[in-house]
Amino acid sequence: MQPVDFTTLMAAHAELQRDWLPARCEQVVQRDRTTLCMALRTLTGRGWLTISWHPQAARIHMGAAPPRTPDTFTFSQQLKHQLNGLALVAIATMAPWERVLDLQFAPRPGDEIQWHLYVEIMGKYSNVMLVNAQNQVVTVAHQVTAQQSSVRSVLTGDPYTPPPSILGPRPLLTEPLPDWRDRIVLVPGALKKCLLSAYSGLSSAVVQELIAAAGLAPNQTTDTLTAADWQRLFNQWQTWLTCLETQQFQPGWTTTGYSVLGLVPTQPAPSVQALLERYYHDELTRQSCDRLHNQLAQRLKTLLKKLRVKEADFQTRLSQSDQAETYRQQADLLMAYSYQWQPGMTTMTLADFETGEPVAIAIDPDGSAIQTAQKLYKRHQKLKRSRHAIEPLLKAVRDEIAYLEQVDAALSQVIGEAPEVALAAISDIRDELIQQRYLEDPTYRPAPRRQEDEVDLRKFHTPGGLAVWVGRNNRQNDLLISRLATDYDLWFHTQEIPGSHVLLRLSAGQVPSDEDLQFTADIAAFFSRARQADQVPVVYTQPRHVFKPKGARPGMVIYQQETVLWGQPQCIAAMLDSTAIAIAPQLATSGT
């Protein structure tokens, strides 16, 4: 994740000063452990200032309104008590090349400053603290004791002290080319490394952009650069410093992140605020998505491993019960020929009643043939009873494995989706596992049914223009059958293979072509566990022939009067890669 460096902070600072001063603080909400949202109102509008001290995504910018969830954080409550109703009259920088902003609050513009909200954007050392006019820290987002840091402690009630000044030379617009070049080549090495070590206040992203704009390579050694190379790089250096001095920035998206300088080709962004809001929202959502995905995948792997061991054990015991009839037959032989038994015998070889073949039966040397037969009868009865007990247990374990494999298949299919869509789908899976008691979360509260359920579905169009809807998880799979399917539609699913439920939407009297049916079968095969296969059996039937048994787990159904097609998932994979199919807007925004 690209951190907010000094250049980006100055770009955000310039826009905030230009567009959002003065502004009245109307509300303060802390949306999570590291993110604060402050409602600001100016003469022209209202917006939310996002302030974050996240270790990898510390930032400050205007953003979206926070979700309407209870705010139980002490830090925001203290800020709300002190700052609500006051005016944000200035946003000042603390010192040259320092990533610290001073948000100053007063009753109205022109009045004496009453509060300072210091926002320190310094990676894992980022922090936010409220300081009164007497320079006393009133509240702080993250307190730092002397045991945690020997350089600088940050505690409530202490005087505020700025972060230690950066060491080393700082970039200057007035520095001539020879002095600049000599400082960089003092210790020869890779160009990027030399630039970063020669000056303070530089970030890896800025250096990378300067080098790319000059047409050079980051790993190119300084002793291989020509005079023309140095001149081009110095020109880009001067352009960067000029942008900082004039506060003229060009925000845009790059192939690896974002830039506020515009020195390399970018996709323009409307503003620095919009750029930072979208980038960090997407990156943090993707991070949360990956973390939750890994957690659920590991849990499902553990559960399936235990269930398969239990299935193998039941299967072994069931196989042993198949020998019950053999024990009974041996007991019958012993009872019939018990008169042949002699004391001390350990084996009796007797002719089978049906085949006449000799059967060797072990005899307990401490007992008689009749006593051995009684033991065999008991073993026969025990194994017979065990079969009746094991068969339903084995079926229950296999049903549970089928369900968890269905969940695992749905979880694997969200990879590659847009961050928000993927996170919503994985959150649904997590909620489902909690409801089915495979996960524990004391803080879990069932979410109300969302109105956008239908929009969240994957949506395609067949070559004939028919709509195809695909569930992302078991909740949506049930939604397709219970609420969305009509009597005219067709329901598709891979045969005996975990996968998504697929609905081919049809109107009254409409008959799909063979090409439409094949396309839908290919979709069902693609969104299943057999995605990598060449051909996959897919069944389809009318929704009225699809039933959900009483007490069945989410997504589990039985069906009748089905027709089998062979789906070809690789055709869909090739089409998606070449963007040769028409995808509905909801799917296009999901990034599938």
- For 147-184, what is each residue's pLDDT tens digit? 888 888 899 999 999 998 888 889 999 999 999 999 99
- In this prediction, residue 545 carries a pLDDT of 93
* Strand boundaries in 397-510, DSSP class E: 458-461, 467-470, 490-494, 502-504
- In this prediction, residue 95 carries a pLDDT of 85
Alpha-carbon gap, residue 274 to 253, rounded angstroms: 11
- In this prediction, residue 589 carries a pLDDT of 33
- Helix, strand and coil content of the chain, in percent to the nearest 5, comes to 40, 20, 40
Closest CA to 49 of 36, 30, 58, 31: 36
- In this prediction, residue 451 carries a pLDDT of 52
- In this prediction, residue 585 carries a pLDDT of 34
- In this prediction, residue 71 carries a pLDDT of 87
* Percent of the chain at pLDDT exceeding 70: 95
Alpha-carbon gap, residue 248 to 295, rounded angstroms: 44
Predicted confidence (pLDDT) per residue in 377-427, tens digit: 887 788 777 778 888 899 999 999 999 999 999 998 888 788 888 888 898
List residues bridging with 361 in a β-sheet.
Answer: 348
Task: Identify the band that residue 132 occupies on the pLDDT scale cut at 50, 70 and 90.
Answer: very high
- In this prediction, residue 201 carries a pLDDT of 84
Q: ∠ at Cα 36 (35, 40), nearest 5°? A: 145
Residue 187 has pLDDT above 70, yes or no: yes
Helices (H), 142-226: 177-184, 191-198, 204-213
- In this prediction, residue 446 carries a pLDDT of 67
Per-residue pLDDT, averaged over 109-119, amounts to 94
Q: Note the CATH architecture for domain 177-269.
A: Orthogonal Bundle (1.10)
The first and second tokens of residue 530, run together, are 């057999």
Per-residue pLDDT, averaged over 496-503, amounts to 93
Alpha-carbon gap, residue 99 to 76, rounded angstroms: 22
- In this prediction, residue 113 carries a pLDDT of 95
Show me where the domains of the chain are located. 6-140, 177-269, 273-447, 456-590
Q: Which of 3-7, 30-34, 285-289, 455-459 has the lowest mean pLDDT?
A: 455-459
Label residues 432-466 b or e (16+ Cβ within 10 Å = b): bbeeeebbeeeeeeeeeeeeeeeebbbbbbbeeeb
Residue 454 has pLDDT above 60, yes or no: no
- In this prediction, residue 462 carries a pLDDT of 92
pTM: 0.78
- In this prediction, residue 364 carries a pLDDT of 81
| Residue position matching structure tokens 């894992």 | 124
Spatial contact of 564 and 518, defined as CB atoms under 8 Å apart: no
* Multiple choice CATH, 6-140, 2.60.40.10, 2.60.120.10, 2.30.310.10, 2.30.110.10: 2.30.310.10
Q: Greater confidence, 122 or 352?
A: 122
Task: Identify the band that residue 248 occupies on the pLDDT scale cut at 50, 70 and 90.
Answer: very high
Question: Hey, is 21 helix, strand or coil?
Answer: coil
Q: Greater confidence, 364 or 455?
A: 364
